[in-house]
Copies of this chain bind each other. A is one copy, B any other.
Amino acid sequence: MENFTFQCGTKIIFGKGTEKQVGEETRRFSKKVLLHYGTGSIKKSGLYHTVVESLKRSGVSFTELPGVVPNPRIGLVREGVKTCRENGIDFILAVGGGSVIDSAKAIAAGFYHDGDAWDFFSKKIPIEKALPIGTILTIPAAGSEASPSVVITNEADKSKLSANSNLLRPVFSILNPELTLTLPKFQVACGISDMMAHVIERYFTNTKSVDLTDKLCEATLRSIIKNARLALSDPDNYDYRAELMWASTVAHNGLLGTGRAEDWASHRIEHELSALYDVAHGAGLAVIVPAWMKYVYRHDVKRFAQFARNVWDVSSDSDEKAALEGIGCLRTFFRDIGLPATLKELGIGGEKIGEMAGRCVHRGHIGNFVKLGEKDVAEIYRIALA
């Protein structure tokens, strides 16, 4: 096991009706906040009304900044920084999915930065101060509700980059699974592949002696797989949604990666896809992760066999066969829950593989489990084609 530091202080307020506590929780930090959300679904669902009432009842005033889209844009982040500065705002309340929360995180960091907020992503300058943010999560997927990470897309050059800082962990996150009951099936499925990918990026490691986190990863994956199937076949069931929602947080708050090197190549490879083609992140991952696995599994067949046996109950005695069966199980599962299995199904051909591979590694090799250069990444895109 490697040395590590782990701290996740996000207060999780979980369960039915908890969104009504948002005013009370927000007031502990601020009486003047930015209310940040997406393109209007929270108005249709009535959540907007609940939030506004709760904030008013707690004497919290707010300025609204709607308009966050999937693969959230730096343009809106810049607008958010300006709005916060001009209005003396010192807290951001993000109401939505991972995109809204990530946009809020970028604004929170940008607020204290003299230069452009994109500097954190393009120049990798460290985040030394950030506004506190709180969230009401509406889509279990990205894990941003308790994670230190943020991913933003620059609409000008179509780059999609990430930044990390413990300062970006929300001070509170309200998770009410009831809010997820009306999500479209495709969006649920995208969330499932995203949270599974967060575990898988941690699971495939070269660090030795990581038994506890291995087992926690396997447990989390098994629970996601089981409850994904149940939730999709019985969409009105609260409990299945609750399992998935809590799993999305556990998958990405950092616990499962403690003491081990993490990989993150699949995410980098997918980011180029969603930056260039604006595909849903989860759909892109469903295509890329199994392709990445096929390309790298020979590096540690035993670990892939362990994944197959402990997550998918593969019984083959041969490690090689078990490994391949496990990858097949993952691919079949994604297809079963309605996700694409190939780039072709995403409507993407091979034309830009060279360009994407080049952009993917422009800062050097990616991944830790296997270090990947431009040719490796291009090959993974090719495996993913059909």
Contacts and interface: CB of A to CB of B under 8 A. Distances in A.
Interface of A: 1-18, 208-209, 211-212, 215-216, 218-220, 222-223, 226-227, 239-240, 242-243, 246-247, 250, 255, 258-259
A17 B17 CA distance: 46
A217 to B, nearest CB: 9
Nearest to A218: B219
B246 A258 contact: yes
A219 B5 CA distance: 22
Contact of A219 (B14, B15, B216, B247): B216
A172 to B, nearest CB: 8
A243 B1 contact: yes
A209 B243 contact: yes
A14 B18 contact: no
A5 B1 contact: no
B7 A243 contact: no
Contacts of A9: 7-9
A5 B258 CA distance: 23
Contacts of A215: 219-220, 222-223
B11 A5 contact: yes
B259 A246 contact: yes
A218 B255 CA distance: 16
Contact of A247 (B17, B212, B223, B242): B212
B1 A242 contact: yes
Given A1-B243, A242-B259, A10 B7 contact: yes
A214 B7 CA distance: 23
A195 to B, nearest CB: 11
Contact of A255 (B4, B222, B239, B255): B255
B3 A12 contact: no
Contacts of A220: 212, 215-216
A8 B240 CA distance: 25
Given A209-B243, A215-B220, A255-B255, A6 B12 contact: yes
B16 A5 contact: no
Given A216-B216, A243-B211, A6 B14 contact: yes
A250 B6 contact: no
A5 B14 contact: yes
A14 B254 CA distance: 14
Given A5-B14, A242-B259, A223 B212 contact: yes
A216 B224 CA distance: 12
Nearest to A9: B9
Nearest to A15: B3
A218 B310 CA distance: 13
A22 to B, nearest CB: 14
A8 B15 CA distance: 18
A335 B247 CA distance: 35
Nearest to A11: B7
Contacts of A2: 15
Contact of A15 (B1, B212, B255): B1
Contacts of A223: 211-212, 215
Contact of A259 (B13, B14, B212, B258): B14
A113 B180 CA distance: 44
- Scoring A1, A6, A17, A240 by chain B CB atoms within 10 A of each residue's CB, the highest score goes to A1
